[in-house]
Structure 1
């Protein structure tokens, strides 16, 4: 179940992130592909955080960070750099262990990795340009979202994963951060 506020924040965030990824390719087709691929990646990322937190007995709900969305838009337009900070799943529980917090944090990037794999398969089996572009953008956007979120600094997911298990963070995070470093101006 979604509250009215959570649903509104998710929808606004998806549209803003899609615009950030689509800019400067401002045409309807490219924007719709970005909307679909970013929408899936972002929604599944946040919902995985939410659902894993709920499995640990927490109350959790997504909240947009409008200042972060505006900052991302400005950075993309002025510098051409992709920066995504749309908000977060807020978790309410008396106490979360470091392990619970780490697993909740890792769930979002894992969702993006799974989606990236699915989009990669679509990209290699595509028999027309539109499907290829959906696969291509979905693959790259989801790897970017996974890697960016695994930055090992607060408030990103990577900080919580690193605190819980440095080895898991290194195995999952380092290759993705290398990818993000080389694609920051994607």
Structure 2
């Protein structure tokens, strides 16, 4: 059985919108505390973050959703509102960027480990591909310009989202990919972890 990959329920549109704005706020927030009141660039960074995060986060979730529907499962994104509040609190109190906005819920009697792993991997891979696209575009614009900064911001956000979601801890995507194929998980994840930590 297949499902229309272009169908969005009203609840799904609401949750995607709220999650996008919340994640953009987290990435735009200038570190710990309430420095936004002394930061005249915060509003502009927030607008850019909404545009970049909007593409990055939504493509990530839609990749999960589309691949799941390809395998005959019905799937919809649902926000984790408690996680969004926790992420905002962590950013304000300690300056840590924690991203757990929700998940694509999949409805099917049975998915093989391979299908489940591929569905999980599709989200982070979409972010890696977007990061590559932003990087390629940045090559063709003058350095140290507004457009260059926006494109590099797009590279950063997408690689961060990919790496964070590939952590091998349930319920993150990485745990499902690792259970399916540890070699695939390592090939995709380890370079991203190296980029973050080193």
TM, length-normalised to structure 2:
0.89
Q: 1:122, CA displacement in angstroms?
A: 2.2
Runs of 5+ unmatched residues, structure 1 = none
Structure 2 counterpart of 1:107, from 94, 112, 122 = 122
Question: C-alpha separation between the residues in 2 aligned to 1:20 and 1:179?
Answer: 20
Aligned residues of 1:20 and 1:73 also touching (Cα < 8 A): yes
Q: Greater CA deviation, 127-136 or 110-119?
A: 127-136
Aligned position for 2:192:
176
**Structure of larger gyration radius:** 2
**In the aligned structure 2, how far is the partner of 1:54 from the partner of 1:93?**
10
Say if 1:13 and 1:64, in contact at 8 Å, map to a contact too: yes
Partner residue, 2:13? 7
Among candidates 171, 190, 194, match of residue 155 of structure 1 = 171
Please tell me the root mean square deviation across aligned C-alpha atoms, in Å. 1.2
Contact 1:149-1:157 within 8 A present in 2 as well: yes
Q: Does 1:76 align with 2:91?
A: yes
How big is the shift at 1:130?
Answer: 1.8
Structure 1 counterpart of 2:113 = 98
* Long gaps (5+) in structure 2: 1-6, 37-41
Instruction: After the TM superposition, list the runs of 4 or more consecutive aligned residues in structure 1 that deviate by more than 6 angstroms.
Output: none
Q: How many residues align?
A: 182
Partner of 1:165: 181
**1:17 and 2:23 aligned:** yes
TM-aligned CA deviation for residue 60 of structure 1: 0.1
What is the SS of the residue equivalent to 2:77?
Answer: strand
Choose the corresponding residue for 2:103, options 88, 91, 115.
88
Does the Cα contact within 8 Å between 1:60 and 1:92 map onto a contact in 2? yes
User: 1:152·1:159 contact (CA, 8 Å) conserved in 2?
Assistant: yes
Q: 1:133 offset after TM fit, Å? A: 1.5
Q: What secondary structure does 1:167 align onto?
A: helix
